Chains A and B, each alone.
Chain A
Amino acid sequence: MELKRVVVTGLGALTPIGNTVPEYWDNLINGVSGAAPITRYDTTLFKTKFACEVKNFNPEDFMDKKEARKLDPFVHFALAATDEGVKDAGLDFEKLDTNRIGVIWGSGIGGLKTFFDEVVNFAKGDGTPRFNPFFIPKMILDIAPGHISIKYGLRGPNFSTVSACASSTNALIDSFNYLRLGMADVIVSGGSEAIINEAGMGGFNAMHALSTRNDDPTTASRPFDKDRDGFVAGEGAGCIILEELEHAKARGAKIYAEIVGGGMSADANHITAPHPEGLGAKLVMTNALRDAGLTTSDIDYINVHGTSTPLGDISESKAIIALFAENAYKLNISSTKSMTGHLLGAAGAVEAIAAILAVKNDIIPPTINHFTDDPDVDPKLNLTFNKAQKRVVRAALSNTFGFGGHNASVIFKKYQE
């Protein structure tokens, strides 16, 4: 059976550095940080007091007040990004076979705020279980693609992918697979996350995973810098419309890039720490390249996972050198988490958008906040420190690694007939 080709025909983004794709991209290539003191709750007793929050966002711009009240913020974010993605793709669902349009959406945790609020409410009572009837359908992670399908009447494949910080990359790979197998014409894919609340930040703080640079939030996310001290939490959503090539051509859709490969692997090592030599990271990139039928010399840009944690950045850079060998030094590499913070389950989606636009626009967004070289990072790697760089990008690879040892990578290539 011959596999079909799959292209990107629409993008939507709601991020800490921009509530639309044009604004997000503009701030990416200008090196803008989205970090600031947390506004959502009182941080007095918390070790980390800042994060990359989505700003100036009102869910009622995308749904009525009654609907907004019944949805967790991670679904508000999903519907906002999807609104932009669907419009950008020019999808007119009245004229398309909606039985063949699916939604595959990732999130790492789902409705954490809803769960937290309901349990706190229960704990304040006398033990009588007075849970809101919307508690479960508001919290469950798969409700995001559920709501997207209900809003647009999309009756194709519909589910969520969960692999912590690799979740939305897994959503893209699953979407790619169903489309190339001919099981759908279009899939609305991506992911969303909303964990900037007491439970999310308290939990990650307890793991010592977060930066505590409270005196200087905008420089706290500094991947590959010697003085990095943990990741900066982010939130938001990314929507990527993937479409079978002939279907896209038939309706005259604009094409951003072609998705040509997906790779998956597991570290099988530790629940949260990366494999010290980056074995799982090397394997996932190997698998993605093999799936794409490309070699290391075909890749011009890697949007790395690069969370700004002491261990993760080192093992990922080792994995790149182990796999790419001499070609590792010809690449551009950057961690856009230096600007957006870590969107966890939505990271794969928003970083795939960065990779897609790098391929389309031939610009590499930078790794900002580089001050001091880390002796454990090979200085010959071009980590695109501090300033965007122009270069032709034939193909870009985006890495994501999740707690549990889940690794997922995707490759986007310039579209050619």
Chain B
Amino acid sequence: MSDIASRVKAIIVEKLGVDESEVTPEASFTNDLGADSLDTVELIMEFEKEFNVAIPDDQAETIGTVGQAITYLEKNVK
């Protein structure tokens, strides 16, 4: 697992209070991990802070699963 992937998972475990085993690449924040719309906004903000990137709103809307978050960050984090 990449460094980015493990940091993303750690944030999700912390913020959503879920078990690490549930945080699979296919897991959807809202459908599988119990996040509501505010949780999702908070997650994106945490990713921005952790990786020092700005994720524009139109991009943020495309990030709905653990895998999508990891892929986006691997592509955009320098």
| A interface, CB within 8 angstroms of B | 64-67, 69, 130, 132-134, 137
User: Which residues of B in the span 29-78 have a Cβ within 8 Å of any Cβ on A?
Assistant: 38, 41-42, 45, 48
Closest Cβ–Cβ distance, residue B77 to chain A (whole Å): 18
10 contacts between A and B (CB under 8 A): A64-B17, A65-B17, A66-B15, A66-B17, A67-B17, A69-B17, A132-B42, A133-B41, A133-B42, A133-B45
Check if B45 sits within 8 Å of A130, measured CB to CB: yes
Determine the residue in chain B with the shortest Cβ distance to A131.
B45
With A66-B15, A67-B17, A133-B41 known, 15 other A-B pairs at CB within 8 A are A64-B17, A65-B17, A66-B16, A66-B17, A69-B17, A130-B45, A130-B48, A132-B42, A132-B45, A133-B38, A133-B42, A133-B45, A134-B38, A134-B42, A137-B38
For this complex, into which size category does the number of interface residues on chain B fall? under 10
Q: How far is the CB of B15 from chain A (nearest CB, A)?
A: 8
A65: chain B residues at CB < 8 Å are: 17
Contacts of A133 in B (CB 8 A): 38, 41-42, 45
Closest to A138 in B: B38
Measured CB to CB, the closest approach of chain B to A145, in angstroms, equals 19
Q: Chain B's nearest CB lies how many Å from the CB of A126?
A: 12
Lowest 10 CB-CB distances: which A-B pairs, in order? A66-B17, A133-B41, A133-B38, A133-B42, A65-B17, A134-B38, A64-B17, A132-B42, A66-B16, A130-B45
Residues of A within 8 A of B41 (CB): 133
Total cross-chain contacts (CB, 8 A):
18
CB distance from A374 to the nearest CB of B (A): 52
Residue of A nearest to B49 (CB): A130
Task: Please name the residue on chain A nearest to B17 by beta carbon.
Answer: A66
Alpha-carbon distance between A64 and B18 when the two chains are bound, in angstroms = 11
Q: B17 contacts which chain A residues (CB < 8 A)?
A: 64-67, 69
User: Given the complex, which residues of B lie within 8 Å of A132, measured CB to CB?
Assistant: 42, 45
A327 to chain B, nearest CB (A): 56
From residue A313, how far is it (CB to closest CB) to chain B in Å?
46
- Residues from chain A with Cβ under 8 Å of B38 in the complex: 133-134, 137
**Given the complex of chains A and B, what is the CA–CA distance between A66 and B36 in angstroms?**
12
Chain A residue with minimal CB distance to B43? A133
A134 to B37, CA, bound (A): 11
Measured CA separation A67–B41 after assembly (Å) = 16
**Complexed CA–CA distance, A403 and B59 (Å):** 48
Alpha-carbon gap, A64 to B15, bound state (A)? 12
A69 — which chain B residues lie within 8 A by C-beta?
A: 17
Q: How far is the CB of A72 from chain B (nearest CB, A)?
A: 15
Closest to B37 in A: A133
Chain B residue, CB-CB nearest to A66: B17
Contacts of A64 in B (CB 8 A): 17
Which single residue of chain B is at the shortest CB-CB distance from A67? B17
Give the chain A neighbours of B45 by CB distance below 8 A: 130, 132-133
Residues from chain B with Cβ under 8 Å of A134 in the complex: 38, 42
User: Which A residues are in CB contact (< 8 Å) with B48?
Assistant: 130
**B residues less than 8 Å from A130 (CB atoms):** 45, 48
**A130-B45 Cα distance, complex, nearest whole Å:** 8
A134 to B, closest residue via Cβ: B38
Docked CA distance A64–B34 (Å): 13
Chain A residue nearest to B34 (CB atoms) is: A66
Q: How far is the CB of A31 from chain B (nearest CB, A)?
A: 42
Find the B residue at minimum CB distance from A130.
B45
A125 to B: closest C-beta gap in Å:
11
Residue of chain B at shortest CB distance from A137: B38
Interface centre among A64, A132, A133, A137 (most CB of B within 10 A): A133
Bound: A407/B41 CA distance, A? 42
CA–CA, A134 and B15, complex, Å: 12
Complex CA distance for A67 and B15, rounded to whole angstroms: 10
Task: Tell me the minimal C-beta distance from A122 to chain B in angstroms.
Answer: 13
How far in angstroms is the closest Cβ of chain B from A384?
A: 48
Contact residues in B for A67 (Cβ distance below 8 Å): 17
Assembly CA distance A137 to B45 (angstroms): 17
Looking at B15, B16, B17, the one whose CB has the most chain A CB atoms below 10 A away is B17
Chain B min CB distance to A58 (Å): 16
Q: How far is the CA of A391 from the CA of B18 in the complex (A)?
A: 55
Listed residue (B15, B38, B41, B42) with the most chain A CB atoms within 10 angstroms of its CB: B38
